[in-house]
Structure 1
Amino acid sequence: MVEHGQALDWPRYSHGAYAQQQAKAKAARIGLWVGTFQAPWEWRAQHADNKGPAISQSLGIISRQVVQSYSCQPRRYCSQIGSCEEAQWYLHNCSWGRKLDRDGDGRACETLC
């Protein structure tokens, strides 16, 4: 998972066992490394004195992380896309995205939207 940018090497517990895989994923800008984010242990340390974040704030963080996980490589087809939001992201952000809107109405993968 670390190699594919889907998890982080947490040196406190892994003692750097996955540092090489993480460096490769970061250099390739895949998974979590497509965008920017704050490591979970850093976020928790900054918010340790709070009783917990507001639900809307948590949902906003999750939403941004999901969007950051989208990537234009490799090209995807509607059958490989899981949501209308994801299809629309590809439509507006990828060179091949317009192919997801066969009838040209601005909605990608009509079966999802």
Structure 2
Amino acid sequence: MLRVCAVFVLCLLPQFAAADPNGRIRVIDGDTWDVGGDRVRLFGIDAPEVDQTCQRPNGEVWACGQWVSQQVRKQYDGKSASCTALDTDRYGRIVARCAVGREDAGRVMVSDGLAFAYRKYSMDYDLDEKAAAVNGRGLHGDQFQRPAQFRAAKRSAVQPSRQDCPIKGNVSSKGTRIYHVPGQEHYGKTRINPSKGERWFCSEAEAQQAGWRRARR
């Protein structure tokens, strides 16, 4: 009877079976990597979006999201990571804690001011962010909007309609940002869902500057 009960309880528990990603890193942006062919969202941190801007003390607005992606790419692209899978997100990415060498990559990025502790999901890097802020490392010397707030503001903003801007900016199940122009194979069936960060663009240059790439077909 006890064995039957144990099996029943196990069946009720949520199943998480993603394999631990390991292998060479290809940096997509500050907190999203391809690791050995798996799309990984780094656990416990939140880095600026590619199209996000910050403001320097002198009032200058600069592309801090692009800068963070470049810095992370310089530091980690092409190296090997060993990750522990913890969950999957709504885009199908594996949420994982990743080590490069003997260092926790998320902790290093937060300590360097390239990302922020994502306290909604974890307090693991809370003190690392506070130390970076006290010492003015990375983004902490400037005025910035936390990435989650930036994404929320984008979702709530009025988006251009198809009549105004015909290019469709789609986010795939793996989190890849792809845009479709009229006449391409999948243009007609592509739907735009602003709650996922999807949007319309008025030109290909605008889409590319925001971090989207053109669909291959």
Q: Normalising by the residue count of structure 1, what TM-score does the alignment of the two structures yield?
A: 0.43
Query: Computing the radius of gyration over CA atoms, which structure comes out larger, 1 or 2?
Result: 2
Q: Which has the higher strand share?
A: 2
Which is helix-richer, 1 or 2?
A: 1
State the TM-score, normalizing by the size of structure 2.
0.24
